[in-house]
Structure 1
Amino acid sequence: MKMTRIFAAAIAALGFAGTTLAAEGEQYPPKEHHWHQDGPFGTYDRQAVQRGYQVYQEVCASCHSMDLMRFRNLAQRGGPFEEEAFPNPNDNPIVMQIAASYTRVWDRDEINDDGDPVERAGLPSDPFPAPFPNVQMARASNGGAYPPDLSLIVKARTGGENYIYSLLTGYYDAPEDSHLAPGMYYNPYFAGGAIAMAPPLAEGIIEYADGTEATVEQMAEDVTTFLSWAGDPHMETRKQMGVMVLLFLLIFAILVYLAYRQVWANVKH
Structure 2
Amino acid sequence: MKFISWNVNGLRAVLKKDFMNQFKEFDADFVCLQETKMQEGQVSLDLPGYTQYFNYAERKGYSGTAIFTRIKPLDVHLGIDQAEFDNEGRIIRLEYPEFYLICCYTPNSGSELKRLEYRMKWEDAFREYVGKLKEKKTVIICGDLNVAHEEIDLKNFKTNHHNAGFTDEERNKMTELLSSGFTDSFRKLYPDERKYSWWSYRGHARETNAGWRIDYFLISSPDKIKEAKILNEYTGSDHCPVELITE
Range of TM-score over shorter length: under 0.3
**Structure with higher strand content:** 2
TM-score by length of 1: 0.24
Higher relative CO (CA 8 A, sep ≥ 6), structure 1 or 2? 1
More helix by share: 1
